[in-house]
Structure formats: C-alpha cells, structure tokens
C-alpha cells in the first residue's frame, strides 16, 4: 500500500516548530541565571556549624571507645575540655559539650519545627525546594502551553528512515491515528525532542557559563554533607557527656610488658621451629658464635634459672615466671 505524503502547511513550520525551539532556548537560559541567583543566596554558614557538630560527636565517640590508649593526664585534659570542670559557673569553663544551650535552640520556632520533624536541616530543605522550583515549574508551564495551543495536528516530519511502530507513542503524543507513518511528529513530541536534545546546543551557545545538570556534581564539594540527624544536637551532646563522665579511666598500657612477653611465648610456639632452624644454620657462621656467647653472658647475669640451657633462644620464649 502506498501512502500519499501529507503536505504540511508552511505556517505550521513558521508558527509552531520554530517558536517552540526558540522559547525552549530562552527558558533554559533564564533557568540557568535564575538558579545561579538562588545558589548565591543559599546560606553556607550553616554547613560549617553542622560539620563541626558532627565532627565533635564523632570525636567524642572515639574518645569514649579508645580512651584507654592515651595517658591518664591526657584523658582528663580532654574530659575537662569537653565536659567542663565540675561546678564551674563561668560559661567558658563549661566545656564544649555544654556549649549549645537548649534554650537557644528552642527560642527559634523555625528550628524547633524542623528539629522535631524528619528534616533537621532547614537549609537542605530549602535547597531542595529551590531546585524543584527552578526545574519543575518551567517544565510544567511549557508543557501545558504546548499542549494547549498546538495539540491535535502534525507539526513536522522527521527526515529519517521509517521507525518502528513502537516509537509511535513517543513521537505522536496527542495524535491517535493508527495509520499515520511514524516519521510524522506531533507538537508535544517535538517539544520533548527539543528539550532532550537542547543540552548540547545550550552547551555550545551558553558555553561560558552553562552548567549542565550532570556537571553540577563537579561544581559542588567533593565531600557529601553530614547525614541528617534524628535528634536535636544538644540532646546528643548531653548523652555523650554522660558517657564520658561515666568512664572510669583504665589504661591498656598497665603491665603491658608482661602481657606482651606472655602472648609472645604463647604465639611463638609455632614459630619456634623456624627460629631454631635459622639458628642452626647460622651456627656455622663465625659471627654467630660471638652472638651466642654474648647472649649467654647476659642471660646468666639477669636470671640464674636458665644456666643449663644450651639453646638460648628456647629460654627466651619460655613463659616468664612471675613472683
């Protein structure tokens, strides 16, 4: 069956196809500038405070888990820094964890509202909102504009090889004709095609200051922001302060020498053979004879119990006798 080609009115090209293109371009340029203005105004100070709080919590948690690895003096110094000296009235001496007063937080009803809701970060909320406004609103307006004025007719014909029937829904939105060739495009579909394809063109035309959506990632900081916190920060601080105050200091360095030698003697029972082999092979070496006598000398001086041993290494890895 041969289809007679449909002749499209020139007016359609002049008043539909080209205007959609131009309007799309103008809108994306506007969108760009608009989003930049909004971005400039977004408040970054909040970020610093936020990171600082997160890092403080992190640091305090690390202190509560690994306090036994630092000397007692240093631990108490940190405790004083974080929890303050007991009974201090001067707010300066109250410590970092008491620095955020709950009253100050509550005085701001906006903060309260956000603190109690899922989103504690109001700046994140507004950022999201702004992004939506900038991207979504023009999108919807444009679509309804195109749909309202230019629906119901074929806008242009694509000069390509015939596409399969599957593309019909995509290319002929708003036209329900089953027999129409797929290469004819409705106005709404033309709008979508232009919209998807416009990024490259914008890139060239607005190249100096155009930021395409996927490259905004590059624009932003490398480090993702701290995750949203469920509880208000001063409550976490209070909890952590209690944790620190509950710690009864005990160092893992106590009696570490004996513990180390003990463990060594347990663990090396396996390695002992290799060590002995090494020793034997080195016995031919002149140098080593010296070594052995030397070791033996020190041995007899330090502990008299092991005088009979011929293999000094073996003596070494015996469990030290504790008296």
Binding site for another protein (CB under 8 A): 36, 44-45, 47-48, 51-52, 55-56, 58-59, 62-63, 65-67, 69-71, 74, 77, 207-211, 214-215, 217-223, 252-253, 255-261, 263-264, 267-268, 270-271, 274-275, 278, 282, 285, 287-288, 290-291, 294-295, 297-299, 301-302, 312-313, 316, 320
Closest distance to another protein from the beta carbon of 137 (Å): 24
Min dist. Cβ of residue 282 to another protein (A): 6
With b for 16 or more beta-carbon neighbours within 10 A and e for fewer, the 229-241 pattern comes to beebbbebbbebb
* Shortest Cβ 205–another protein spacing (Å): 14
Nearer to another protein, 161 or 218 (CB): 218
Which is closer to another protein, CB of 51 or CB of 144? 51
Three-class DSSP labels, 149-209: HCCCCEEEECCCCCCCHHHHHHHCCCCCCCCCCCCEEEHHHHHHHHHHHHHHHHHHHCCCC
Q: Tell me whether residue 14 or residue 255 sits nearer to another protein (CB atom).
A: 255
Distances (CA, A) of 131 to 28, 35, 135, 222, 280: 14, 8, 6, 19, 75
Bin 152: left if φ > 0, else alpha if -120 < ψ < 50, else beta. left
Provide, rounded to whole angstroms, the least separation between the CB of residue 178 and another protein: 39
Is the Cβ of residue 158 or residue 295 nearer to another protein in the bound state?
295
For the CB of residue 88, give the shortest distance to another protein in the complex, in Å.
Answer: 21
CB neighbours of 234 closer than 8 A, spacing ≥ 6?
A: 100, 101, 102, 105
Closer residue to another protein in complex, CB, 164/302: 302
Closer Cβ to another protein, 13 or 267, answer by number: 267
Chain centroid to CA 21:
39
Q: Positive or negative CA dihedral for 40, 45, 46, 47?
A: positive
Give whichever of 56 and 187 is closer to another protein, judged by the CB atom: 56
* Residues 206 and 32: beta-carbon distance below 8 Å: yes
Write down the least CB distance from residue 122 to another protein, Å: 17
Q: Closest CB to another protein among 9 and 49?
A: 49
Between CA 79 and CA 245 the distance in angstroms is 8
**Smallest distance, another protein to C-beta of residue 151, A:** 36
CA-based nearest residue to 82, from 220, 226, 209, 245:
245
Instruction: Write out the DSSP string of 82-112.
Output: HH--TT--SGGGG-GGGSS-HHHHHT-HHHH
Q: Smallest gap, in angstroms, from Cβ of residue 295 to another protein? A: 6
DSSP readout, 259-271? HHHHHHHHHHHHH
**Alpha carbon 161 to chain centroid distance?**
47
């Amino acid at each position: 069956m041969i289809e007679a080609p449909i002749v499209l009115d020139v007016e359609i090209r002049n008043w539909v196809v080209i205007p959609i293109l131009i309007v799309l371009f103008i809108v994306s340029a506007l969108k760009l500038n608009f989003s930049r203005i909004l971005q400039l105004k977004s408040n970054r100070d909040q970020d610093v405070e936020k990171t600082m709080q997160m890092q403080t919590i992190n640091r305090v948690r690390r202190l509560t888990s690994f306090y036994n690895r630092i000397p007692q003096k240093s631990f108490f110094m940190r405790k004083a820094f974080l929890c303050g000296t007991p009974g201090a009235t001067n707010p300066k001496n109250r410590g970092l964890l008491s620095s955020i007063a709950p009253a100050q937080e509550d005085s701001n009803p906006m903060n309260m509202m956000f603190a109690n809701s899922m989103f504690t970060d109001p700046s994140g909320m507004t950022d999201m909102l702004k992004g939506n406004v900038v991207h979504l609103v023009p999108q919807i307006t444009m679509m309804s504009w195109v749909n309202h004025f230019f629906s119901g007719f074929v806008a242009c014909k694509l000069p390509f090889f015939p596409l399969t029937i599957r593309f019909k829904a995509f290319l002929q939105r708003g036209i329900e004709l089953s027999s129409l060739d797929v290469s004819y495009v409705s106005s709404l579909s033309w709008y979508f095609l232009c919209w998807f394809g416009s990024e490259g063109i914008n890139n060239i035309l607005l190249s100096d200051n155009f930021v395409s959506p996927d490259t905004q990632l590059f624009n932003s900081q490398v480090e993702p922001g701290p995750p949203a916190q469920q509880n208000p920060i001063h409550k976490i601080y209070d909890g952590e302060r209690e944790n620190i105050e509950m710690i009864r200091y005990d160092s893992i360095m106590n009696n570490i020498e004996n513990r180390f030698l003990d463990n060594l003697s347990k663990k090396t029972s396996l390695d002992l053979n290799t060590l002995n082999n090494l020793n034997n092979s080195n016995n031919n070496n002149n140098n080593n004879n010296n070594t052995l006598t030397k070791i033996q000398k020190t041995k007899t001086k330090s502990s008299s119990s092991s005088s009979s041993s011929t293999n000094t290494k073996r003596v070494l890895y015996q469990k030290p006798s504790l008296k």
